[in-house]
Amino acid sequence: MAVYSKIFKQAYFLTRKHRFLWTFGLFLVWDALFFLSFIFSNPDKNQNEQQHQQLQAWLTVRPGLTLAFAGALLVLFAVFIVLYFRARAGLIMTIKGILDKQEVSFQKGFKLSKLFYLRLLGSSVIQVSCLILAFIILAVPVAYLWSLGFLFRASLLGFFALLIFVPISFIASLTNVLSPLFIVQYDLTIEESIRQSFNLVGRLWLKLLAFHVLLTIGVWTALFGCLFVVFLLSLPVVLLSSFFYDKFGAFLGALTIGTGMTVIGIIFLTMLAGIAVFHQISWVLAFQELVKPQPEDETEAVSLPEIVS
């Protein structure tokens, strides 16, 4: 526990000291935009369905525009994916540079991330695909028995499938965190990084589990704290916009709540970026506690890490 406490304190100190790292974090939490749109969306279900039907009807009579819209969404999604993995690679490199007392900057880290981000993407795709495949293999027999009406057998088989899938998903989540660290810090291939991650998890799964649980609790606590701050900031904005709406009309009321929620959204994303940076710094520090570089052999191009038991 003392080691974990030291890691979290150092991660918090580095997160506060090197605020430029939060720029990387912004690229890691872009999916929070969808979360924000869900929170601040219209809660009226009937009105949402009506708007959806109107949009669908409008796009149906314009197939060319629909294809262009779908293509633009795909391109935008691909851009976000590339930015995400470049930011993740750049953040890991920059954190390592800070720990090694090197000269670092956002521009330098993001520029050098092009050497690693495709391997990070490939590693993530492989591991997520394997996890989905494992889920399908375990779920199909359960669904088949359920469809035949064998509810007890399906439930029993589902229970055992869950006992198998939970540790598989735990291992996959850990290797998905560790393999980018092996790729960036040791310049390993996708295959070798996954193999080294499995080796590390196999030897030190209990330490990694304890660290993962403590870090997750800390991150979720910080996240709920951020949501509470957003709630407190939203109250005066809503009250002020309602006042302006009643006294000066709909335009000023809508302008007030739109501006206020935009500012709150920016604050929320900034806080999420800080949490993402803290999370990554914590894993880099834990990684350096668990592995150390071997002396590079003259006959090998890459030196492999040694796992500390």
Instruction: List the chain pLDDT tens, one digit each, 309 residues.
Output: 678 889 999 999 999 999 999 999 999 987 666 655 555 555 555 555 655 666 666 666 667 777 787 788 899 889 999 999 999 999 999 999 999 999 999 999 999 999 999 999 999 999 999 999 999 999 999 999 999 989 999 999 999 999 999 999 999 999 999 999 999 999 999 999 999 999 999 999 899 999 999 999 999 999 999 989 989 988 888 888 888 887 777 777 788 888 888 888 889 889 999 999 999 999 999 998 887 665 554 444 444 555 555
Residue 187 identity: D
pLDDT of residue 40: 52
pLDDT of residue 149: 87
* Residue 64, domain member (yes or no): yes
Could you tell me the residue range of the domain that residue 73 belongs to? Answer: 6-39+59-292+302-307
Domain count within the chain: 1
* Residue 44, domain member (yes or no): no
pLDDT of residue 302: 44
**Dihedral pair phi/psi, residue 305, rounded to 5°:** -75, 160
* Residue 167, domain member (yes or no): yes
100, HSE (Cβ side, Cα atoms, 13 Å): 12
In angstroms, the CA 110 to CA 211 distance is 28
* Residue 45, domain member (yes or no): no
Residues 6+ apart with CB under 8 A from 254: 241, 245
Question: Which residue from 19, 205, 168 is spatially nearest to 98, judged by alpha carbons?
Answer: 19
* Residue 106, domain member (yes or no): yes
pLDDT of residue 18: 94
Under 8 Å between Cβ of 127 and 179:
yes
pLDDT of residue 299: 40
Q: What predicted TM-score, i.e. pTM, was given to this entire model? A: 0.82
* Residue 48, domain member (yes or no): no
pLDDT of residue 300: 43
* Residue 47, domain member (yes or no): no
* Residue 248, domain member (yes or no): yes
